[in-house]
Amino acid sequence: MAMAGVYRRLLPSPPSVDFASSNGKQLFLEAIQNGTMEGFYRLVSYFQTQSEPAFCGLASLSMVLNALAIDPGRKWKGPWRWFDESMLDCCEPLEMVKARGISFGKLVCLAHCAGAKVDAFHASQSSVDDFRKYVIKCSTSDDCHVISSYHRAALKQPGTGHFSPIGGYHVGKDMALILDVARFKYPPHWVPLTLLWEGMNYIDESTGQSRGFMLISRPHREPGMLYTLSCKHESWNSIAKFLIDDVPFLLKSEDVKDIHKVLSVIFTSLPSNFEEFIKWVAEIRRQEDGGSISEEEKTRLAVKEEVLGQVQETRLFKHVASFLSSSCGRQTLTSGEGDALPVIAASVCCQGAEILGGKLSSLSAYCCPETCMKCWKAEDDKSITMVSGTVVNGNTEQGVDVLIPSSSGKLCCTCSSKKNIRMHPASTDVLTVLILSLPSTTWAGITDQQLLREIHDLVSTENLPTLLQEEVLHLRRQLHILKRCQEGKVDEDLGAPIS
């Protein structure tokens, strides 16, 4: 029997011009001569085809993130860290994207969560002149790239809403080069910029908002060097709401008179699964990847250790440690710093195995019967600490190495039989950073002015060292984005997250 299917589409021309046609080649050469194809070379180096019919947004974003050389901070396959559509699951479950695509606002949310610097505009709140200005800006540089969200009907193409990056611009013809990620359907093609703008003015029926465009660029430093917020578990929705909405209400309703009471109000009300929400970013690899530690790994670990040390030097950390050492604090939080080394080491290795295996299932499927601590000496005589373990999942097992930052000489290298040794990550530093990351409006309901001044002094980002300040502001932006997702407002408010 014949196999039914669709093999490509005939590109409607006009208005579009096939990139590989004689006219398309001439436009390309003229644009190169005018200097408006500078962004093309990096984009085309990472040009990909969307893996699902509704993954045009995810394919466009992963292509741009890779072109900007932004480190995803997590493995793709084998030992490789690489942005792939399957990894862009922060603001919308992949199954939902597969079924109905993704909105413009949620793709903006994903770009923020991935660590990019993003400027996004609904067409209804911008102008064709602004759009042209930004296209020219990114076409004359390889430091930023434009993703357009448009309706295919404006270009006389069958289909509805679509995302694709813009690869270049022709000044004389006022045409933009669309690097269409639906390469099974259309090749790259030149289109009149005014028609593309018309396509961005179509209303997305799922949100009631017009489509638009976003400029994506690389931040000056990789965000989330040590801490990140996770929304891979269902708990993120309620925890984001608790931190932004419930904590300010609780502090306002309680008669708080000192820092200890403030911490008690927050920590005694924390959802039991909050530890799934804020995570350490650790370097993970399979043992068969090689025994030596690369200079790149050493550098990243050194930064993580510096961030951790800066956390422990804050006055807030000392208040949190004091609270957790009290009877009230011990009853509130029973895990974390009090855990024995074998328990934490096994947990760390299981998390590493889960990530390496690309699994999103419960860690209960993994068993780590054997762990060991190793120390490596760097050139500056600093010790690099590694947790090594054998992780079992069903009938298979694998060796996992996890590089763990340590500070203040608190982490000792030994085997897991020494049950009295403790290591990070601990409740104290995680909770300290979580409090620092809360928005400034959190404390507005406290009526005691002296206490209010003391809190502001403790949590002010202006008083933090640069590395820790950037870490905290990144978490605060993540929290703000997740709250907007939780409220369903990401398509209304495209502004940069609060600092």
Q: State the catalytic residues.
A: 56, 162, 180
Residue from 371, 376, 387, 352 nearest 279 by CA: 352
Between the CA of residue 74 and those of 80, 225, 386, what are the distances in Å? 8, 12, 17
Is the CB of residue 122 less than 8 Å from the CB of residue 210? yes
Residue 368 CB contacts under 8 Å (≥ 6 apart), including other chains: 345, 346, 347, 349, 350, 353, 389, 390, 391, 392
Peptide bond into 15 cis (omega under 30): yes
Give the integer Cα–Cα distance in Å for 45 and 66: 9
The residues facing 164 across adjacent strands are: 148
Cβ pair 121, 103 in contact under 8 A:
no
| Strand pairing category for 189-192 and 283-286 | unpaired
Q: Tokens 């404390």 sit at which residue?
A: 443
CA distances from 143 to 68, 193, 444 (A): 7, 21, 39
Supply the DSSP symbol for 280.
Answer: E
Q: First and final CA of the chain: distance in angstroms?
A: 61
**Whether the Cβ atoms of residue 140 and residue 38 lie closer than 8 Å to each other:** yes
- DSSP labels, 293-328: PPHHHHHHHHHHHHHHHHHHHSHHHHHHHHHHHSHH
CA 85 to chain centre: 13
